[in-house]
């Protein structure tokens, strides 16, 4: 039966007036009711709240009155990763970032005030550095965070707003002043003049990871790698950097991406070959967990933490030493191109083309791809240019991953 909705809609009585602010409130309320996307390793995505995490990494999802259990090893990701909106930002040695104000520091420890966790104290060996002033430009912000996280050398270093650098040994941070012992004696640097502080890379100690762990993303843009998470209706606990346990409200978590389960990300494997054939002369290396220009991976207005950045025309090859069931990813042009760029993605398995996308252009949503890998020994990812030669062809293989074999369920008698 066809119903003309327009003909059945009657104008409201003259006594009923919907105020514009009420209409806006209704729209916002409806937006707030949209449940986060949950993407299992296998099966269709579904919308649900993350309602619980137990000590065995068993996840509970809730949609209305319905609940669904899923082992963390069977989850690709849940929710949406939020951008960092303001600093300061603590950059952890394991790659995590925490939005927090620096309260004080000495030669061994730093104390910071986090909106999520309150006052926290961290050994300096677990910190790569602090970004005090985030650049307004998102790409510049990415590069600064990368610079702090990947710094080399054997000294602490203050990076000033004007580009100057002061190297030495950190003595203290107190009263908005950084004191460094340098070759010319003590030097005080005001924090408002400092863009970042890099702690001696030779002394940092990234923690040993558990086999199964996860990246947890929070509302303020913080992203922490947890070896243990415990979530119920009252609180969320996360074990960070191997020795720190922090607690916050359950509503603060907006993203969860398990690592070490059935999914192996290509960015964590070593490629066996790469070839880029430029349209003219400019060579572009591929990048792991970054776009081809070195920034974070962003496509369709979303931030992705895992993936590969390539430029047309290029081929990236992986030899598959383990048995995998499928290759999965989302394909898109990086948002940094401002809608420019156009490529075609192709996937080859053991030399045979198994997938070829339609032309994918900047500004369009990412396209999912899933390719069977049973018995495969080689995987090739190819990016070709389409329009306007290779201009702005910043191609992203988002969450590019290999799905391993299913893990047999363990019965109660076998536990």
Residue 208 lies in a domain: no
Q: How many domains does the chain have?
A: 2
- Are 67 and 245 in contact, with CB atoms under 8 Å apart? no
Residue 145 token pair: 């965070």
pLDDT on residue 6:
31
For residue 405, is pLDDT > 70? yes
Q: Choose the final residue of a domain: 153, 173, 203.
A: 203
pLDDT on residue 32:
52
If one counts every other C-beta atom within 10 angstroms of the C-beta of residue 193, the result is: 14
Q: Choose the final residue of a domain: 157, 182, 203.
A: 203
Residue 164 lies in a domain: yes
Q: List all residues 6 or more positions away from 363 whose beta carbon is below 8 Å from its beta carbon.
A: 333, 338, 339
For residue 11, is pLDDT > 60? no
Q: What is the mean pLDDT of residues 211-222?
A: 98
Q: What is the mean pLDDT of residues 51-57?
A: 97
The whole domain housing 274 covers 264-403
For residue 156, is pLDDT > 80? yes
Residue 374 lies in a domain: yes
Q: Is the same domain home to 190 and 300?
A: no
Residue 66 token pair: 């319905």
- Are 252 and 297 in contact, with CB atoms under 8 Å apart? no
For residue 117, is pLDDT > 90? yes
Average pLDDT, the chain: 91
Residue 33 lies in a domain: no
Cα–Cα dist 112/114, whole Å = 6
Q: Is the same domain home to 185 and 290?
A: no
Q: What is the mean pLDDT of residues 51-62?
A: 98
Q: Which of 287, 229, 234, 278 is nearest to 258 (CA)?
A: 229
SS3 for the chain is: CCCCHHHHCCCCCCCCCCCHHHHHHHHHHHHHCCCCEEEECCCCCEECEEEEECCCCEEEEEECCEEEEEEHHHEEEEECECCCCCCCEEEECCCCEEEEEEEEECCCEEEEEECCCEEEEEEHHHEEEEECCCCCCHHHHHHHHHHHHCCCCCCEEEEECCCCEEEEEEEEEECCEEEEEECCEEEEEEHHHEEEEECCHHHCCCCCCCCCEEEEEECCCCEEEEEEEEECCCCEEEEECCCEEEEECHHHEEEEEEECCCEEEHHHCCCCEEEECCCCCCCCCCEECCCCCCCCEEECCEEECCEEEEECCEEEEEECCCCCCEEEEEEEECHHHCCCCEEEEEEEECCEEEEECCCEECCCCCEEEEEECCCCCEEEEEEEECCCCCCCCEEEEEEEEEECCCCCCCCHHHC
* Upper half-sphere CA count for residue 213 (Cβ side, 13 Å): 17
CA 401 vs CA 42, 245, 258, 306, 318: distances in Å: 12, 30, 12, 9, 12
For residue 318, is pLDDT > 60? yes
Q: Is the same domain home to 300 and 173?
A: no
Separation of first and last alpha carbons in the chain: 55
Residue 396 token pair: 């992203």
How does pLDDT run across 264-273, given as a tens digit for each residue? 999 999 999 9
How does pLDDT run across 225-271, given as a tens digit for each residue? 999 999 999 999 999 988 899 999 999 999 999 999 999 999 999 99
Give percent of the chain above pLDDT 70: 90
pLDDT on residue 177:
98
pLDDT on residue 278:
87
SS3 for 88-118 is: CEEEECCCCEEEEEEEEECCCEEEEEECCCE
Q: Is the same domain home to 190 and 268?
A: no
pLDDT on residue 206:
83
Residue 289 lies in a domain: yes
Cα–Cα dist 181/199, whole Å = 13
Residue 247 lies in a domain: no
Cα–Cα dist 363/353, whole Å = 26
Q: Is the same domain home to 169 and 277?
A: no
Cα–Cα dist 381/383, whole Å = 7
Residue 22 token pair: 């009420």
CATH number of the CATH domain containing 118: 2.30.30.100
For residue 360, is pLDDT > 70? yes
Q: Is the same domain home to 279 and 390?
A: yes
For residue 28, is pLDDT > 70? no
pLDDT on residue 390:
86
Q: Is the same domain home to 273 and 195?
A: no
For residue 38, is pLDDT > 50? yes
Q: What is the mean pLDDT of residues 70-98?
A: 97
Q: Is the same domain home to 188 and 297?
A: no
Which residues is 87 bridged to in the sheet? none
pTM to 2 decimal places: 0.89
Q: How confident is residue 33, by pLDDT bands cut at 50, 70 and 90? A: low
pLDDT on residue 15:
42
User: Is the model more confident about 16 or about 115?
Assistant: 115
pLDDT on residue 30:
45
CATH number of the CATH domain containing 324: 2.60.120.1060
For residue 180, is pLDDT > 90? yes
Residue 96 lies in a domain: yes
If one counts every other C-beta atom within 10 angstroms of the C-beta of residue 329, the result is: 26
Q: How confident is residue 413, by pLDDT bands cut at 50, 70 and 90? A: very low
Q: What is the mean pLDDT of residues 311-326?
A: 97
How does pLDDT run across 129-154, given as a tens digit for each residue? 999 999 999 999 999 999 999 999 99
Residue 215 lies in a domain: no
Q: What is the mean pLDDT of residues 44-66?
A: 97
Q: What is the mean pLDDT of residues 5-23?
A: 41
Q: Choose the final residue of a domain: 176, 203, 230.
A: 203
- Say if strands 97-105 and 273-276 run parallel, antiparallel, or are unpaired: unpaired
User: Is the model more confident about 218 or about 14?
Assistant: 218
pLDDT on residue 208:
86
Q: Is the same domain home to 143 and 268?
A: no
């Amino acid at each position: 039966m066809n119903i003309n909705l327009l003909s059945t809609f009657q104008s409201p009585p003259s006594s009923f007036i919907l105020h514009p602010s009420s209409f806006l409130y209704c729209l916002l309320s409806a937006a707030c009711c949209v449940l986060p996307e949950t993407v299992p390793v296998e099966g269709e995505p579904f919308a649900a709240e993350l309602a619980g995490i137990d000590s065995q990494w068993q996840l509970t999802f809730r949609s209305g009155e319905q609940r669904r259990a899923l082992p963390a090893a069977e989850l690709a990701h849940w929710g949406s990763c939020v951008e960092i909106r303001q600093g300061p930002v603590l950059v952890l040695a394991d790659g995590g970032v925490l939005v927090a104000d620096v309260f004080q520091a000495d030669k061994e420890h730093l104390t910071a005030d986090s909106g999520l966790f309150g006052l926290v104290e961290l050994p300096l060996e677990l910190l790569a550095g602090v970004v005090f002033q985030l650049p307004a430009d998102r790409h510049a912000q990415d590069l600064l965070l990368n610079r702090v996280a990947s710094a080399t050398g054997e000294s602490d270093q203050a990076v000033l707003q004007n580009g100057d650098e002061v190297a030495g040994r950190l003595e203290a941070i107190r009263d908005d002043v950084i004191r460094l012992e340098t070759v010319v004696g003590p030097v005080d640097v005001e924090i408002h003049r400092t863009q970042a502080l890099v702690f001696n890379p030779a002394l940092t100690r990234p923690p040993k990871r558990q086999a199964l762990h996860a990246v947890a993303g929070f509302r303020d843009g913080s992203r922490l790698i947890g070896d243990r998470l415990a979530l119920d209706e009252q609180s969320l606990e996360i074990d960070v950097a191997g020795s720190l346990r922090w607690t916050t409200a359950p509503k603060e978590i907006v993203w969860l991406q398990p690592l070490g389960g059935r999914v192996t990300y290509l960015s964590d494997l070593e490629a066996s070959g790469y070839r880029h054939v430029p349209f003219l002369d400019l060579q572009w290396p591929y990048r792991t967990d970054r776009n081809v220009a070195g920034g974070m991976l962003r496509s369709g207005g979303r931030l992705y933490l895992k993936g590969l950045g390539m430029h047309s025309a290029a081929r990236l090859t992986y030899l598959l030493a383990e048995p995998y069931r499928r290759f999965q990813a989302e394909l898109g042009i990086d948002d940094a191109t401002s809608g420019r760029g156009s490529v075609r993605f192709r996937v080859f398995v053991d030399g045979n083309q198994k997938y070829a996308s339609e032309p994918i252009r900047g500004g369009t949503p990412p396209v999912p791809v899933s390719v069977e890998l049973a018995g495969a020994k080689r995987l090739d990812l190819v990016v070709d240019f389409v329009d306007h030669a290779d201009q702005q062809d910043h191609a992203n293989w988002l969450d590019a991953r290999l799905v391993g074999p299913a893990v047999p369920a363990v019965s109660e008698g076998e536990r």
